[in-house]
A and B are shown apart, each in its own frame.
Chain A
Amino acid sequence: MTQPAAPVEATTTGRKPGDWLRAPGWRLLPMGLLQSIVAVVIGIVICLVIIFLIADDPLTAFRAFVLGTFSTTYAFGSMLAVATVLVLTALAAAVSFRAGAFNIGTEGQLVLGGLAAAVVAQNTGMGGIGQAAALIASALVGALWVAIPAWLRVRYRTNEILTTLMFNYIAADLALFLVNAYFRDPTSGAVETPPLDPTLWLPRLLRTSAANVGLLLVIGLAMGLWLLFERTRTGKRMEAAGLQPAFAEYLGIRSGSHLLLSLLGSGVLAGLAGGIAVLGITHAYTTGFSPQYGFLGITVALIGRLKPFGILLAALLYSSLITGATVMQSATDVPFSLVFILQGVLILLITSRRGGVA
């Protein structure tokens, strides 16, 4: 699932990789890209079939689902805003996956990062200083929240899938408790922090929509991560440590500390995603401000083949489907939960090694 060229996977699947792909023309296409495209097409077709089966008015639902994003400026803007957050959670997932660890806890890191951003922004100065402090705080809290599972994984080989997953539930309860006990907006009936001052909001890109400058920050981060993974020794070492820890040790790479570094980096990105979601979209911490951004990020990372630029494209695609589903839910009787079904189907199709591709 990580790199197309990993020889280990070819032998474990017990088949010669890509016998049917020997024609030279195929080699020009990156194989992962092809499989992602095929998977997305199949996934969307499955969604359309479900819509056709359950909707009273399938044609309206189709149109809303596929084109809903581009119907209004508002919808297009919220597509960009959601994509911003998804890129970050997807990069968070990719950084840990590429180093051979499954950080499934991005959701929890994001929730606590978002809470930290809301609280810090409230209590520091207005404008740029407050924003910067809030974003830094969210990143730090994200890293802090992954630190314990990461340390347990590196030092004692604890199963990080289960621990990070459990930390999601703990984070949800902890956030609920903290907001209720200390940070709750007394004038509001919901469990949320007081709304932030407009000077603390991330500046908007499109008027009247949620798209914000976080998008530019995120594109920069994706480029930085591309440089890290493709052009630096640290990135290559992280990958080697993840793919073949024993081999990496023979090469003199400290696989443990590289794994720790990548998991902490993953936490930083996930926490930052929470900060950007709060400062850019909801403008306060509200319970349930994240429609599972963390898990959606895993899907996006896999569609993007764990590569930064792939992730940028995949996030745009996926968030336009999310926005489409929102438009569809309000226009017809087909519920938003279709997105979660699509998500499961896509992960299965994309990680499939049938046919020896990746």
Chain B
Amino acid sequence: MSAVGDFLFLVLTSLVPILATAAGGMFADRARAPNIALDGCMLVASLTAVVVGTVTGNPWLGLLAAIVAGAAYSAVLAFAAFALHCDLIIAGIAANLLATGLTLLIVQHGLHSAGTYAPFGTALIPRVPAGPLQDVPILGRAVGGQSALLYVAVIATIVAAIVMNLTRFGAHIKAVGESEEAALAVGIRPVLIRTIAVLLSGAFAGIGGGYLSLSSVATFNSDLTGGLGFIAFAAVIFGRATPLGITFASLLFAVATSVAIYLQGSGANIQQLVQCLPYVVTVVALAIQAVSRSRRQRFDVSDTNYVPAIIPRG
């Protein structure tokens, strides 16, 4: 029993950055401004988190700074897309590359580290004991001692779901995504809504990025995300940009990540091979989704259904 509990603990640990980031990516995707620079936002945010957390001595200030940094960095993407009129996808890829360069430059030059910035004595986000749940067989082990950011991520997802489905702003986002002309006709400003959606996605990615550098060990290097931002982006697409969908998709990818970590610990000779499991699962998930979509569309002649995927124009 305890093995199951430990495995679930691992799943929840891997879930936090994916879920938090995907919840924000949902806004951008729904507004048809998919933010493929989530990975870059996470990277910039996690560097900010560890630096601010170390300087102030307060990890929560570090997290706050990470959220601001994530939003600020996604402003680069919004500027490129809406002010420079770049293609959003290419601009997103550029923003990811820029984030790698920027963080590397800061780590190497500003912080005088060769590649990995590991400050001494940084306070981490506190871990929450299971409390009354402690004696429940599996659940106790799974949630006992999780980072407080797990709860932050869950609350953030719930808030995102409420904003998306129950508020005026959420309706505006959906309107802009589904029909720009119709939204314009009723007086919604698509560029404004899209900019806010992109900034929001950056802020949520900031939570995910902050988790990476402030939850278990306070270190940073420019490979820290390891493509987690892209996996979160894939979770948005696989979850059709709905709150429940992205939660399940994030869980799936978190399970894949945990299996990889678990197998690595088992000491088999295939350690490097299992490392790629989350990426393989992501590709398989996207493929399954595409296959089922093409099955459905054989009988569907209407062109109105919402397509959350990004299709390169041109």
A and B associate in one complex: yes
A contact residues vs B (CB 8 Å cutoff):
1-2, 6, 8-9, 12-13, 50, 54, 100-102, 104, 148-149, 152, 155-159, 161-163, 165-167, 169-170, 172-174, 176-177, 180-181, 242-243, 295, 298-299, 302, 333-335, 337-345, 347-349, 351-354
Binds A, one of B82-90, B148-156, B197-205, B213-221: B82-90
Residues of A within 8 A of B286 (CB): 152, 158-159, 162-163
Hey, which chain A residues are within 8 Å of B86, CB to CB? 348, 351-353
CB proximity of A199 to chain B, nearest CB, Å: 32
Q: 5 shortest A-B CB distances, which residue pairs?
A: A344-B98, A340-B101, A347-B94, A337-B104, A177-B272
Question: Looking at the complex, which one of B97, B279, B293 makes contact with A347 (CB distance below 8 Å)?
Answer: B97
A345 touches B98 (CB 8 A): yes
Inter-chain contact A161/B89, CB cutoff 8 Å: yes
Q: How many residues of B contact A (CB 8 A)?
A: 55
Report 6 cross-chain contacts, Cβ distance below 8 Å, ordered by A residue.
A8-B313, A159-B310, A165-B227, A172-B276, A243-B314, A348-B95
Are B290 and A152 neighbours in the complex by a CB distance under 8 Å? yes
CA distance A166 to B235 in the complex (A): 13
> Which of these, A100, A166, A347, contacts B227 with CB under 8 Å?
A166
The residues in B between 274 and 314 inclusive whose CB is less than 8 angstroms from any CB of A are 275-276, 279-280, 282-283, 286-287, 289-291, 293-294, 309-314
Q: Is the CB of A341 within 8 A of B84?
A: no
* B237 in the interface (beta carbon within 8 A): yes
Contact B105 A337 (CB under 8 A): yes
Residues on the B chain within 8 Å of A299, using CB? 97
Structural contact, A2 and B275, CB atoms closer than 8 A:
no
CB nearest neighbor in A for B292: A156
Q: Is the CB of A337 within 8 A of B283?
A: no
Structural contact, B279 and A170, CB atoms closer than 8 A: yes
With A156-B287, A339-B101, A347-B97 as contacts: A102 and B272 at CB distance below 8 Å: no
- A100 contact set on B, CB distance < 8 A: 312, 314
A159 touches B94 (CB 8 A): no
| A340-B101, A340-B104 known; A354-B227 Cβ under 8 A | no
Contact between chains at A152 and B90 (CB < 8 Å): no
Set of chain A residues within 8 Å of B36, measured between Cβ atoms: 161
**Cβ–Cβ contact B98 & A157, under 8 A:** no
Note all chain A residues with C-beta closer than 8 A to B272.
173-174, 176-177, 180
CB distance from A96 to the nearest CB of B (A): 10
List 12 other contacts, CB 8 Å, given A50-B105, A335-B109, A345-B94. Answer: A149-B283, A161-B312, A162-B283, A170-B276, A173-B272, A337-B105, A340-B97, A342-B101, A351-B87, A351-B90, A353-B84, A353-B86
B100 at interface, CB cutoff 8 A: yes
Q: How far is the CA of A54 from the CA of B105 in the complex (A)?
A: 10
Tell me, in angstroms, the Cα distance from A343 to B104 when the chains sit together. Answer: 14
Question: Which residues of the partner chain A approach B280 to less than 8 Å between Cβ atoms?
Answer: 166, 170
Smallest Cβ distance from A91 to chain B, in angstroms? 18
Q: Cβ of A167: which chain B residues have Cβ within 8 Å of it?
A: 279, 283
B273 within 8 A of partner (CB): yes
Which residues of the partner chain B approach A162 to less than 8 Å between Cβ atoms? 230, 233-234, 237, 282-283, 286
Q: Does B108 contact A (CB under 8 A)?
A: yes
When the two chains form the complex, which single residue of A2, A181, A302 contacts B314, counting CB atoms closer than 8 Å? A2
Q: Which of A1, A102, A243, A348 has the most CB of B within 10 A?
A: A348
Partner of B97 from A172, A176, A295 at Cβ < 8 Å = A295
Q: Which residue of the partner chain A has the closest CB to B260?
A: A173
Q: Could you list which residues of chain B lie within 8 angstroms of chain A, going by C-beta atoms?
A: 36, 80, 83-87, 89-91, 93-102, 104-105, 108-110, 226-227, 230, 233-234, 237, 269-273, 275-276, 279-280, 282-283, 286-287, 289-291, 293-294, 309-314
Distance of A194 Cα from B43 Cα, bound (Å)? 35
**In the complex, residue of chain B having the shortest beta-carbon distance to the beta carbon of A296:** B97
Q: Who on chain A is nearest to B294 by CB?
A: A156
B91 in contact with A351 (CB, 8 Å): yes
A335 to B112, CA, bound (A): 11
Interchain CB contact under 8 A, A166 and B109: no
> In the bound complex, what is the Cα–Cα distance between A67 and B95 (angstroms)?
28
Cβ-defined contact, A9 with B94, below 8 A: no
Cβ of A174 and Cβ of B276 under 8 Å apart?
A: yes
Instruction: Please determine whether A169 and B227 come into contact, CB atoms closer than 8 angstroms.
Output: yes
Give the chain A neighbours of B104 by CB distance below 8 A. 335, 337, 340
Q: Once the chains bind, are A335 and B84 in contact (CB under 8 Å)?
A: no
A337 to B108, CA, bound (A): 9
Least Cβ–Cβ distance between A250 and chain B, in angstroms: 17
With both beta carbons as reference points, the residue of chain A lying nearest to B233 in the complex is identified as: A162
Best-surrounded residue of B87, B90, B290, B310 (most CB of chain A within 10 A): B90
| Inter-chain contacts of A340 with B (CB < 8 A) | 97-98, 100-101, 104
Give A20 Cβ to nearest chain B Cβ, in Å: 15
* Contact partner, A335, options B83, B99, B105, Cβ 8 Å: B105
Question: Which B residue's beta carbon lies closest to that of A341?
Answer: B101
Which one of B271, B290, B314 contacts A1 once the chains associate, using CB atoms below 8 Å? B314
Q: Give bound CA distance, A173 to B279, whole Å.
A: 10
Give the complex CA separation of A299 and B293 in angstroms: 33
| CB-based contact B314/A6 at 8 Å | yes
A164 to B116, CA, bound (A): 28
Which of A101, A176, A242 is most buried by chain B, counting CB atoms within 10 A of its CB? A176
Are B94's CB and A173's CB within 8 A? no
Hey, which chain A residues are within 8 Å of B234, CB to CB?
162, 166
